[in-house]
Chains A and B, each alone.
Chain A
């Protein structure tokens, strides 16, 4: 019980805020791109809908359920994606997503943090399979 500071460091205020009040949460009607992924280990689900016009992400919404890390990571990512050219969105890497979260993520939880990025990558590239090594 002496580790309250460490807990709060991990579950920082803005992470909890994104978890409890997720930005861009919901679905889009007639999205140009829609993709959903599941983390088979813990059952976390994240899906994203995109409206793309002239190569730019005009609108994005995410839906899903899961732990604070996966849901906050999705919420943060949608903020970054809004009105971003799709080409630039495709270049977003793991380090950028982890940097955005701004906390030390243990190996056991890294898949939670990166699940939304996987949704973006597989959706944006129209890939069907795994792309774990995508950087």
Chain B
């Protein structure tokens, strides 16, 4: 376990990621991260040595599969400091986790006329499920706006809280601008106003970690694939008394205690929410990813990202005709959205691709935010534990090349 003061040994870290042998500069980790050998190895171990279904078979490889699958739950519990593994529900990712809450909690608790508070910074996955719920249950949605720095307007947030919203849901970190929201203060204020609070941690958990008990939220959702783990495995944390009172999301095998013609008794937490055969290998891989990040230490992860972000912010600021969006580097995660005068982000991304620089271009699943900013798309560079300054330099080279081509 690394200490708070330790720095990441990026050269050593990169040796764990075979993909970098291809020579790519990977600047799209906010989209999906790369995965180290430790993660793919843990998954291959399952597939090749003890592949079997969990929770039911009597033979020893199935016991090992069950142990490893359930073992991830304790690793995740410790990683986010939840009180109990019963509060850790496996999902396919953040999207499914939020949909689970919207369906199982929302349909029961959101009443006609209720107010749901979201933010203009949110990812579509933290907007659309609530829009569907609001339409079904005749509720209203208000969105907290941003200021000119791309930070949430806290004055407006507090005004909305005075209208006693039933639910407040916001992202810990904006995937499009990198804005780090003051989650601690926002959760406390929303709880004081009597709201149930969900925090979308898709960009928070991988980059700065979380202590859900200190944060005080009711639900916290995140994805494995953005934190060195595989796709198809994510987490919903929910406070136990809320999860206990909720109906299942999907139903069928493995989420029941007893099924009789007269009716069904659901399984205990957290299995009540895990219907059907699960993504066993992926969950095991997520456990290895949590181990990897815990070994680095989240303070060291954050410190490295901050250093790279400051370096990139400065390098990009020096380029003529380049507009940066969002807060200054000290107040943002490892995400930089920008645009170039006269060059569409997609054209830049195509030119960068010729230099093996992987860059995101588009609306980043945040169309309301793009509309608010009066743009249709940005180019976005995002960083992680393995990002080195050389990759940022290569991006700068691609930008200059694009400017040369577009004269």
In the complex, what's the smallest C-beta–C-beta distance from A67 to chain B, in angstroms?
4
- Interface residue tally for chain A (C-beta within 8 Å): 23
Interface check B37, CB cutoff 8 A: no
B346 close to A67 (CB less than 8 A): yes
B362 close to A41 (CB less than 8 A): yes
A109 to B346, CA, bound (A): 8
A6 to B370, CA, bound (A): 31
The residue that B355 contacts in the complex, of A1, A20, A41, with Cβ under 8 A, is: A1
B377 close to A43 (CB less than 8 A): yes
Interface membership of chain B positions 354-391, coded 1 if the CB is closer than 8 angstroms to chain A and 0 otherwise: 11000001110001001000001100000000000000
Give every chain B residue within 8 A of A1 (Cβ-Cβ): 355, 397, 401
Give every chain B residue within 8 A of A66 (Cβ-Cβ): 344, 346, 376
The residue that B362 contacts in the complex, of A6, A7, A43, A68, with Cβ under 8 A, is: A43
A65 to B376, CA, bound (A): 9
B361 close to A42 (CB less than 8 A): yes
Give every chain B residue within 8 A of A7 (Cβ-Cβ): 351, 354, 401, 405
- Interface residue tally for chain B (C-beta within 8 Å): 21
In the complex, what's the smallest C-beta–C-beta distance from A50 to chain B, in angstroms?
25
Interface membership of chain A positions 1-45, coded 1 if the CB is closer than 8 angstroms to chain B and 0 otherwise: 101101110110000100010000000000000000000011111
Interface check B9, CB cutoff 8 A: no
Interface check A95, CB cutoff 8 A: no
Interface membership of chain A positions 61-96, coded 1 if the CB is closer than 8 angstroms to chain B and 0 otherwise: 000011111000000000000000000000000000
A96 to B26, CA, bound (A): 36
Interface check B125, CB cutoff 8 A: no
- If A6-B354, A44-B376 touch, does A112 touch B346 (CB 8 Å cutoff)? yes
Give every chain B residue within 8 A of A20 (Cβ-Cβ): 342, 406
A30 to B370, CA, bound (A): 32
A43 to B344, CA, bound (A): 11
B405 close to A16 (CB less than 8 A): yes
Interface check B350, CB cutoff 8 A: yes
B347 close to A69 (CB less than 8 A): yes
- If A6-B354, A67-B346 touch, does A42 touch B405 (CB 8 Å cutoff)? no
B405 close to A67 (CB less than 8 A): no
In the complex, what's the smallest C-beta–C-beta distance from A9 to chain B, in angstroms?
10
B354 close to A3 (CB less than 8 A): yes
In the complex, what's the smallest C-beta–C-beta distance from B66 to chain A, in angstroms?
41
B405: nearest chain-A partner, CB-CB: A11
A45 to B371, CA, bound (A): 14
11 contacts between A and B (CB under 8 A): A10-B354, A11-B347, A16-B406, A20-B342, A42-B376, A42-B377, A43-B362, A43-B376, A66-B344, A67-B346, A68-B347
Q: Which 10 A-B pairs have the closest CB atoms?
A: A43-B376, A67-B344, A67-B346, A3-B354, A68-B347, A67-B347, A11-B405, A43-B377, A42-B362, A7-B354
Interface of B with A (CB < 8 Å)? 342, 344-347, 350-351, 354-355, 361-363, 367, 370, 376-377, 397, 401, 405-407
Q: Using A3-B354, A8-B405 as known contacts, list a sample of 20 further A-B pairs with CB atoms less than 8 Å apart, ordered by residue number in A.
A: A3-B355, A6-B354, A7-B351, A7-B354, A11-B347, A11-B406, A16-B405, A20-B406, A42-B345, A42-B362, A42-B363, A43-B362, A43-B363, A43-B370, A43-B377, A66-B344, A67-B345, A68-B344, A68-B406, A109-B350
